[in-house]
Each structure stands twice: as C-alpha cells, then as structure tokens.
A and B are shown apart, each in its own frame.
Chain A
Amino acid sequence: MRNLFNFILKHYFFFLFVLLQVVAFMLIVQNNTYHRSFFINSTNLLAGNIYSLQSNVRGYFNLQSINRQLVIENETFRNQQASSFLKTDQTIFTFHDTLHQRQFTYINARVINNSVRDRNNYITLNKGRMQGVKPDMGVITHNGVVGIVKDVSNNFSSVLSTLHSDIQISAKLTKNNQLGTVLWEGYDYRKATMLYIPPHLELEVGDSIITSGFSHIFPENVFIGTISDYEIRRGDNFYTIEIDLACDFNSLENVYVVKNIFREELDMLESESRSLIR
C-alpha cells in the first residue's frame, strides 16, 4: 500500500494530468449530448452580457448596410399595406376573414454571438423565454433560413445554426416541388448539401431551393439557396446537390424567430395517427 502511495506521489504530474484530462473529456461528452450546460455556456448571464456589450459596439460599424436593408424591407411592407391597393368595389366588405387565418408570427432578434468555423456552429440571440421564444422554433433572416432554437434562458436563446451536424431541413425545388433534405457537411460556411432528389429529374445550376414547411418549424417557401453543382455519387440512388446558401452566416445581425401558432396541434395530430398504425 505504501509503495502504491509512493508511486503515485512520485509520478503525481502524470496522474494529475490524467485526472484533469478525464474531467475535460467528461465535459466534452456531456456537452455534446445535452447542450444543457447551464453553468458554462454562452447563454449564461455573464458571457451573455459581455457579448451584448461587444455587439453593441460592433453594431455601429454596420449601421449603413442595416439602414439600407431596413429601407428595402419597409418598402416591401408598404407595398403590402391595404392603403396601397386601389379600391375598385365599394359594396363588398369583409367582417371576419376566415380565408386567411394567421399561422405564423415573427419575433425580431439580434445576433449577439455567432460562429461559422467549427463543425457544429451555434448562434446566440438577445431574446429569450420572456420575449416568447421557445425551443424548436425556426430562425430566418430577410434572405434565408438561419437555424432552429435549441435552448432558451430568460433573456437569451441559443440557436443551432444550419451549419450544425444535427440540423436537417426539409426542402424542395421551386421548379418541380420535389422534396429533399438540406444539411451541412462541414468545410465551407457558404455551401450546403441537398440529398434525396431522384436521378430521373433534370437539374440546372441556378435552380432555387426553398423550405417545404412540412416540419412545421419554418413557413413554406422560405428561400434557402441556389444549386451550384450536382452529381450522382457512385453507388447512390440520389443526386448529391451542392447549394450556395442565400444567407451569409458570417455577417448575421438581425434575424426573425418564427412562431407557428398551430405547431402543438399539428404535432399532436401527427403523433396520434402514427401511434395508431403501429
């Protein structure tokens, strides 16, 4: 026994190293499975506040381009306003619009932390539970899909970016409504991959890809990107399509969190009918 103690004491450097390394790897494994590290995570309050301070300072440098973007959006909304349509028929009034029931609402949020260089990338937003953000809501920007909310704290939320190995987005081709899946294989933050398009279809570089809306996370017809290259890999039954992502993940600033009002109803219905079949 004493020899054992002596041995450990003599080689304490090595044993301490192994001990600390085990702790570090436990942290890594735990973090990869749960993403629920309340303590040390950029959603926590200290890091969150430092990041919002930093993003406040950085925000000034982008004011010009953001103003331009806002003007364009304002223009779009103005065009949709009732007052910008000419009334041709004064005898018909709508009391209760049953044709257009509202399905999606949008919460605007600011990106306070973002990464594009890792294999699994995360985005932190400055809106959380108190502002109505919940896990599994979609996040989009004015020109494309951004990601899906993973965790929320009271005032911040952590988003799995499209550039994450756990994210697969149900998507379709605009020109023939063919359904596929968009995912990210790493390497380049401007490119993504689309799978499961059958090979008898004709594709062209430049065809656009939009969300299908089948997952109830994103609305239908949100732009994802355009085809930049496609091939059928040897032994595959489907196209492997390379996409130019529309959204520039390296310069994210303002995003919208999408809330689907009928989400719970749809999920419940679908899981019920699935369990009946089995």
Chain B
Amino acid sequence: MIEYSTLKQTGRFIIILGIQILILNQIHLGGYITPFFYPLFILLLPFQTKGYVVLLLAFFTGLAVDMFSNSLGMHAAATLFMAFFRPGIIRLLSIKTEFEPEVEPRIHVMGKVWILTYTVMLIFIHHLSLFLIEVFRFYELGEILAKTIISAGFSVIIIMLTHFLMGSARKT
C-alpha cells in the first residue's frame, strides 16, 4: 500500500512538473503573467502527511521549477511558505481534523466550495511571496499586489479545472 502511494505521488510529481516547465512556462499572458500550476502537487498531498515530508517535498518541488526558470531558490522559498501555512489553513477551514491516512483534498471528498477556498488562500500566499522575493528591490507594493491577484486568478482557474478533470476520471 505504501509502495503504491509513493509510486502514485512520483508519477504525479513528474506529470505536474512537466506541464509547468514545458507548457505553462512558455505562456506569458499580456507580456509577463505566467500561470503557476505546480503548487497543485503540494495542495494534493494527503491530509495526514507528516509535516516534515510536506516541507521537504515543497522545497524540492520549488527547486526543480527553479532549475528550469533561472531563478534559483525563489520558487523553493515561495513553495515553502505555502507548505508552512497549509496545516493552519486546513485546521481553519474544516471542523474535523482527523482524516483516514490516504484521504486527499479532492472535490469528491471535501466539496467544491471547500477546495476553492483552500486553493485560493494557499495560491495567494504562494504568489505573493514569490513576487515579493523576485522583485524585492524594485517595485511598489501595489504593483506586486496587482500582479499577484491577476496571476493567482489564472493559476486558480487552471488548478480548479484540473480538479474537475480528475474528479470525473475517478468516478468512471
């Protein structure tokens, strides 16, 4: 059982990173807005995953994206921030805190509204810290906030679409 879930996570990691690096990194909406899809990997980890596993996975996911974006460390730091706030936000949003070992935050488990709130909050944290780190000398805060909100909007749309696609694949 453990081996199966490791295999599943590895496959998911490769697919999500492939989509991010090969397709989404080439998209620059309006000149400079790129949707970030790879946080989905951290969002989808089972609720009961140990804290240190989440942090380490977040660090290496970010680092892998950095390798292909010439931004060494920036995505790693942003993804770490996101992973750090994940347990707090799960506790904030749900009444019960104990889940079965393998349960993941998915639409057929938690419902659409819960998943949307959870995604929006964590993606906002991720994008805000990413842009703050990226430009920490140059831009005004308003500029960063605007960029964060627009980019986060696109990222959330793509992640929610993926959730719906995965949900229907599970039922059939």
Contacts and interface: CB of A to CB of B under 8 A. Distances in A.
A245 interface: no
A37 interface: yes
B114 interface: no
Contacts of B4: none
Interface stretch (B6-14, B37-45, B58-66): B58-66
Contacts of A28: 72-74, 77, 133
Given A189-B31, A189-B32, A250-B28, A16 B73 contact: no
B28 A37 contact: no
Interface residues of A, number: 37
A24 B73 contact: yes
A70 interface: no
A119 interface: yes
A12 interface: yes
Interface stretch (B134-142, B153-161, B164-172): B134-142
Given A25-B77, A117-B32, A186-B138, A17 B55 contact: yes
B138 to A, nearest CB: 6
A201 interface: no
Given A40-B66, A47-B68, A20 B80 contact: yes
Nearest to B67: A40
Contacts, number: 96
B68 A16 contact: no
Contacts of A20: 55-56, 59, 76, 80
B59 A119 contact: no
A13 interface: yes
Contacts of A26: 73
A163 B58 CA distance: 30
9 contacts: A20-B55, A21-B81, A24-B76, A30-B72, A31-B73, A40-B67, A117-B28, A117-B34, A119-B134
Interface of B: 22, 28, 31-34, 51-52, 55-56, 59, 62-63, 66-74, 76-77, 80-81, 83-84, 87, 133-135, 138-139
